[in-house]
């Protein structure tokens, strides 16, 4: 293998976490793939993989190097396509991350539609309820529902998301409807937590409100289900309760006290030189997410 082939082999092993699987992808033998990585490590003077009988994992140096390799090979593929008159279809693996429930409801269907249009592109979808570092985890694109801190990442706005308080009509008939955030101390509360610790204060337009939860869950869908069952009031992003609100299973309360809707962005680290395959995915996702009513910000599901 020449040096570029060794770099492609390195990426294939990193993607599959297997020399045998990488060899099958590349159409070579497993020993050839093993020799290619050994030669690359000797050239660089660092170990790129931690090898055991059960797994092949990137080292810290390997995690840094794979990000550069993807960018370099992506630039090369784009340059070759341009030299060929743009006839070649973009190809390769792209990785996309999003919050779990939003990803399942609104991102995964778009990923499926994208793949149907671009047969040579492969996607890896990571749905998790934590802020994932694109650089550290070698990801190409992320959906962020929050105000973004200053960083070296490029953010493309696609909408805004309300955070709402909901409860079942049965619960509100029994316990009464809160008129101000201060009324919440008299109510049963369904709270979400994701850090293994206590409930964070609920924030409103006029400040935070500390509450004692009746039920704490680490899964958004479970919290919504508890609210539908009449356990108490739950706070969530509006998309998480949208279907239940439309069906009359939940009602939004304290709408006039909500904080401003949070911006939603597609975030990437490619800067201005976005590889052709990532540009296709970025433009596709941005256009379709902007058309989602759930990203309509303060207007979505507000009473006329």
> Is 170 in the same domain as 253?
yes
Give me the pLDDT at residue 267, please.
94
Mean pLDDT per 10-residue segment, the chain (304 residues): 88 88 87 93 93 87 87 75 63 91 96 94 91 80 88 88 97 96 96 75 90 91 96 96 96 95 90 80 96 89 72
Q: Are strands 207-209 and 202-204 parallel, antiparallel or unpaired?
A: antiparallel
Give me the pLDDT at residue 223, please.
94
Task: Write out the two tokens for 298.
Answer: 């303060």
- CATH number of the domain that residue 139 is part of: 3.40.190.10
Give me the pLDDT at residue 82, please.
65
Q: Tokens 């009359």 identify what position?
A: 248
> Is 133 in the same domain as 147?
yes
- CATH number of the domain that residue 63 is part of: 1.10.10.10
Report how far residue 65's alpha carbon sits from residue 240's, in angstroms, rounded to the nearest whole number.
38
The backbone region for 19, taken as left when phi is positive above 0, alpha when psi lies in -120 to 50, beta otherwise, is alpha
All residues at 6 or more sequence positions from 274 whose CB lies less than 8 Å from its CB, including other chains: 268, 282
> Is 157 in the same domain as 167?
no
Report how far residue 298's alpha carbon sits from residue 239's, in angstroms, rounded to the nearest whole number.
12
3-class DSSP state of 244: helix
Give me the pLDDT at residue 272, please.
61
Are 132 and 105 within 8 A, CB to CB?
A: no
Report how far residue 212's alpha carbon sits from residue 216's, in angstroms, rounded to the nearest whole number.
10
At residue 178, φ and ψ (nearest 5 deg) are: -65, 140
């Amino acid at each position: 293998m020449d040096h570029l082939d060794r770099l492609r082999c390195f990426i294939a092993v990193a993607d599959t976490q297997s020399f045998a699987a990488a060899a099958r992808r590349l159409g070579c033998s497993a020993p050839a793939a093993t020799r290619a990585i050994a030669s690359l490590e000797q050239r660089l003077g660092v170990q790129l993989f931690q090898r055991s009988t059960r797994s092949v994992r990137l080292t810290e140096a390997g995690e840094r190097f794979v990000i550069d390799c993807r960018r370099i090979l992506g630039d090369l593929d784009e340059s070759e396509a341009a030299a060929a008159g743009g006839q070649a279809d973009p190809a390769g693996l792209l990785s996309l991350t999003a919050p779990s429930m939003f990803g399942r409801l609104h991102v995964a269907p778009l990923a499926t539609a994208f793949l149907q249009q671009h047969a040579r592109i492969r996607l890896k979808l990571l749905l998790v309820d934590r802020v994932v570092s694109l650089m550290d985890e070698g990801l190409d694109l992320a959906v962020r529902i929050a105000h973004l801190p200053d960083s070296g990442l490029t953010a493309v706005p696609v909408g805004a998301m309300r955070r709402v308080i909901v409860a079942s009509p049965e619960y509100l008939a029994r316990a009464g409807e809160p008129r101000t955030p201060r009324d919440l101390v008299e109510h049963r509360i369904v709270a979400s937590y994701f850090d293994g610790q206590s409930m964070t204060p609920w924030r409103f337009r006029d400040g935070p409100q500390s509450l004692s939860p009746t039920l704490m869950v680490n899964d958004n869908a479970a919290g919504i289900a508890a609210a539908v069952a009449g356990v108490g009031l739950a706070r969530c992003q509006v998309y998480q309760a949208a279907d239940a609100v439309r069906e009359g299973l939940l009602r939004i309360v304290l709408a006039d006290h909500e904080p401003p809707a949070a911006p939603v962005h597609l975030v990437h680290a490619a800067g201005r030189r976005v590889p052709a395959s990532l540009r296709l995915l970025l433009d596709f996702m941005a256009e379709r997410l902007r058309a989602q009513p759930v990203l309509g910000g303060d207007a979505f599901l507000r009473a006329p």
